[in-house]
Amino acid sequence: MREFNQLGLAIVLAGYGMSAVAAVEDAGHINLGPVEMTPMASAGIGYDDNVYREGEGDLADKGSTVYKLNAEAEFKAQTGLSTYAATLAARNTSYSSQSDANFTDVGVKGDIHQEFNSRNRLDAKFDFGRYHDAGSTVNGDIDKATPEYDKTQGSLKYGFGSLEALMRADLFGSYDKKNYNAGGQDRKTTEYGATGYYQFMPKTSALVEIKERKLDYTQQQNAAYDITSYLVGLNWEATAKSNGYAKLGRRYRDATGTERQGYTGWEVGVSYLPVDYSLIQLSTTRDYGLESDNPAEADFTQGITTRLTWRHQWTGKIVTRANYSYSDEKIQGSTGITKKDRSVNQLGLAVDWNIKRNIKVSASWQHTNRDEADKNGFTDAEDYKRNYYMLTGTIAL
């Protein structure tokens, strides 16, 4: 399967959230000329033992029964190797004993893959809608409403050169803008870069990658931050059952009015298919992040994040999913002094039962354990633990 062997898929699956509602196994569709439409709906009930993700104070450990109702319609078209897809969705989340946190997300997402010829291809994605920051509040226990924002997001990747050619290149860029109604800081994030590949063995290529991420708080003066990466590495498909990539290089961070900082970073990912019905993936990244909660401060995170996922199909109807992630970060100010140490452990387990072709029942559990340690009295630590249980039924046409 050509799509499975593409290395980008490994990271997408490795970061797949256990709370997402998996699509039904073989949904039907309505033919609208060259377009196929698939309507889908789901309902879920569960329990969240820490709705506001707080470890102390009036909002700490506030638990509630959770109800979810989702409705969506997916539109697909295909011409040769080119595919076009868009999904309209409305998702409601309600809490029985924390009704202030209720919210409804509405949006449209799209995914386009255009094959011009064997040497030129384009991938594009977009996401427009009104969404909410689940787990946050507008103003603590004074206003516990979930912050609402309008989102405009898009990304492009242009590939030049045959995938089997000696040399090829990818150019990529993305744009993500969030405008908050209340309780958040308006921001826009952009990323752009290029990756060049040199195939020196039939299944192995050397690569060079340069990319830059920028975060700009549109309502704050002197609140724009950059992260630039220069990486070299390998991209390989060792066998039909495994593939991976490894990148190593220097990363630099800049903020308005501050000194430039730099250190060594990496990106590594491996995908392994021991048997046709079992997929294991491991990825690890050492990178800078942006401490977006504090736009008035030039705060960055610096740390390592590791993710492990396992998807196993036990029978034709039963599939289990498991993931684990661990991040170890330092929250640093503009001068590079560490303000806090933070570690986050996340574990997720889920089982999907395909009752019929178009009906699925899923049960999932997520556990999060976040530990922070203040350094030299800079700021308060924000520790919390959270368990989230959900039982979901999904039906398609």
pLDDT in tens, 246-293: 999 999 988 766 778 899 999 999 999 999 899 999 999 999 887 655
Per-residue pLDDT band for 2 (boundaries 50, 70, 90) equals very low
Say what the pLDDT of residue 99 is: 95
Within a 10 A sphere around the Cβ of 280, how many other Cβ atoms?
17
pLDDT top residue among 217 and 8: 217
Q: Using 50, 70 and 90 to split pLDDT, how confident is the model at 26?
A: low
The overall longest dimension of the chain from CA atoms, in Å, is 66
Residue given tokens 């396992």 in the structure block = 310
- Residues of the chain above pLDDT 90, percent: 67
* Phi-psi map region of 135: left, alpha, beta (phi>0 left; psi -120 to 50 alpha): left
* Stated length of the chain: 397
HSE toward the beta carbon, residue 387, CA cutoff 13 A: 4
Task: Provide the pLDDT for residue 15.
Answer: 36
Name which of 84-88, 161-165, 216-220 the model is least confident about. 216-220
On the 0-12 / 13-18 / 19+ scale of CB atoms within 10 A, 206 is middle
Average pLDDT of span 369-396: 88
Q: Would you say residue 319 has pLDDT above 70?
A: yes
| Residue 47 in tokens | 């329990």
Average pLDDT along the chain: 88
pTM confidence score: 0.86
At 27-57, the pLDDT tens digits run: 667 888 899 999 999 999 999 999 999 988 8
